[in-house]
Amino acid sequence: MKPNFSLRLRIFNLNCWGIPYLSKHRGDRVKRLGDFLNMESFDLALLEEVWSEQDFQYLRQKLLPTYPASHYFRSGVIGSGLCVFSKHPIQEITQHVYTLNGYPYMIHHGDWFCGKAVGLLVLHLSGLVLNVYVTHLHAEYNRQKDIYLAHRVAQAWELAQFIHHTSKKADVVLLCGDLNLHPKDLGCRLLKEWTGLHDAYLETRDFKGSEEGCTMVPENCYVNQRELQPFPFGIRIDYVLYKAVSGFYISCKTLRTTTGRDPHSGTPLSDHEALMATLCVRHSPPQHTPSPTHGGPAERSRLISVLKEAWAELDLGMAQARWWATFAGYVIGLGLLLLALLCALAAGGGVREVAIMLWAPSVGLLLGAGAVYLFHMQEAKGLSRARAELQHMLGRAREAHDLDPESQAALFLGQQEGDRSEEQ
């Protein structure tokens, strides 16, 4: 590889809002999306919420001359909704389905049935190994009473861990997708601090698009305006994140977003805004790239703080899951007692008809409570596993922070200043 090596990557990301029978103008929007992608000829197009595999097959055929490599990530009952189109050959593909993904009885939200996941594809470009991740985390629905917060934090941690463990041979790491996280949300901070990924919107010097980089804006006719009332400019929940290992430097040359309408026809491609980034990779002088647990004192302090926050949130979620499992356990006990009473009444013959009529509802109640118990026990174990991992990494980060000479010097100076103030 030449010392003056340079590589330019054009990236497209969009949550397509492609729910069959429910999303407005889905067929027309998919057609226009295909036309737009062929016209722009990006290196990579990463899409979320392509819930219909027929839509993917349509796009695959339409984009085949421009994007010969493609993949649809299948999971769950409905599917992950994730797919990717690439101008370059894809060397490896895998995916990881998140352990926790909402509640099956919240049918109107539907996230549990989707099997939210993170997809990984490995590309070899000009001697570089590029790991590309595409994901879609659980939706928020209600910011004031967010019952899915623990699940989304657990997903963010799983995503960070998946990237951490699968990108060790990569030269460049790229993550795109709908994280359903505002920039200062706990899950977003946890993901960035642990992986060291950089936010294209914050890093680029050439941005054009919606106000504050928002990816759901009031100007979009498909957006629920009532949900955006607290946010006059909209919200930023879709991201292009990246990093390079030691020996390489990556920067975001330009970042563009749509602004509530299609760049050519005027009507939106989706209820989300598209992200279009131009990334540049080049050689940099050899330097040590610190790992999350071995950065400088400031980095370790931020990491410790966000790990503690995440641990506390998962602890709350675990307590709630155990409460529901305990409640369901009591219902199971009452259901068994009721069934025993009904059997006794039926055997006695006194109110046999009534007992037989109540038998089916009692069995239904027992089976329903059993399903709720099993689900919330599984949820508690999933949260407990994530919390245990966070606890371990928090301990390692604290050890590294305590052993750091600069931290000890700062602590000593702080103690000296405290002693002086006491003397005065």
Active site residues: 272
For 79: left if phi > 0, alpha if psi spans -120 to 50, otherwise beta; the answer is left
Rounded-to-integer distance, Cα 339 and Cα 97, Å: 39
3-state secondary structure of 373: helix
Decide if 245 contacts 287 (C-beta within 8 A): no
Residue 304 has phi, psi (to 5 degrees) of -60, -45
Residue from 2, 11, 80 nearest 275 by CA: 11
User: Count of residues for the chain?
Assistant: 424
Q: What is the 3-state secondary structure (H, E, C) of 287-314?
A: CCCCCHHHCCHHHHHHHHHHHHHHHHHH
Rounded-to-integer distance, Cα 345 and Cα 348, Å: 5
Q: Which two tokens stand for residue 332?
A: 């199971």
Decide if 254 contacts 277 (C-beta within 8 A): yes
| Pairing state between β 90-97 and 82-86 | unpaired
Rounded-to-integer distance, Cα 368 and Cα 24, Å: 35
Residue from 10, 28, 5 nearest 18 by CA: 28
For 3: left if phi > 0, alpha if psi spans -120 to 50, otherwise beta; the answer is alpha
Gyration radius (Cα) of the chain, Å: 26
